[in-house]
Structure 1
Amino acid sequence: MQIIEGAGTWAPPGEGANDWVEQFRVPNLSVGTYCIPAGGLDNQSPHTEDEIYVVTAGRARIVTPDGAAEVSTGSVIFVPAGEEHRFDDVTEDLALLVAFGPAYGSRTPRSANPG
């Protein structure tokens, strides 16, 4: 058993940018916190892993190719690997507990090193 300190807790991002902090990682799972300030823009790209978001604070809208939905504290969102998604219309500082399966970046192809 392990308590994951700070996961899902709002922290103001530095320099007005969004902030991703990974708090836990094993090969098949990673957990972290993604924060977007009110009025901020989400510029993430699709991930190679399945993803669960739990909104722990704030309000926004999530947009995918299939539609959009308003989210707020307590909302739980599943985004399959490879699906375009973005949070917009962030009206209150947004804190998201994020779980990736397998661990974030573990399916990302490594570039070939010719040397």
Structure 2
Amino acid sequence: MDVIDCGSFRPGPGGAADFVEQLRVPTLSFGTYSIPAGAADDQSPHAEDEIYVVSSGRGRFTSGGRTVDVGPGTALFVPAREEHRFHDVTEDLAVLVFFAPAYSGVPGS
């Protein structure tokens, strides 16, 4: 068993959005994504399926032509290669991120 310190808001340098991988096995990877209020989420589609779980903060999320409000407890599934992003972040977002299989870093578009 591994105990992972996660779900806390930890912005990147200069207050930018920041992803930190916490765990990796061949079939799954897990990390945390912090997006400060007002910051841009400039991610590109991934080659892996992805699940987001918002642990704190508020904003909006667009994927597959649909936009939803997000806040604590919101869970989102994004299939591989689908354009998606958080936006209109009004409260610092802390998001748990799960990739299956493990995140490769290879763009999916």
Q: Which amino acid aligns with 2:18?
A: D
1:3 equivalent in alignment to 2:17? no
CA separation in 2, counterparts of 1:64 and 1:78? 9
Name structure 1 gaps, 5 residues minimum: 110-115
1:93 equivalent in alignment to 2:92? yes
Q: Which amino acid aligns with 2:101?
A: P
Map of 2:79 onto structure 1: 80
CA separation in 1, counterparts of 2:93 and 2:20? 14
Name structure 2 gaps, 5 residues minimum: none
Deviations 1:63-94 (A, max 9, x none): 12321000000100000000000100000000
CA separation in 1, counterparts of 2:101 and 2:90? 31
1:103 equivalent in alignment to 2:102? yes
TM-score normalised by the chain length of structure 1: 0.87
Aligned residue-pair number: 107
Deviations 1:7-43 (A, max 9, x none): 2211132212111100100011000001110001110
Report the CA distance between 1:52 and its aligned residue: 0.4
Q: Which amino acid aligns with 1:90?
A: V
Structure 1 vs Structure 2 CA RMSD: 1.4
Map of 1:22 onto structure 2: 21
1:71 equivalent in alignment to 2:74? no
TM-score normalised by the chain length of structure 2: 0.92
Q: Which moved more, 1:62-71 or 1:92-101?
A: 62-71
Indicate the SS of the match to 2:60: strand
Bigger radius of gyration: 1
CA separation in 1, counterparts of 2:23 and 2:63? 27
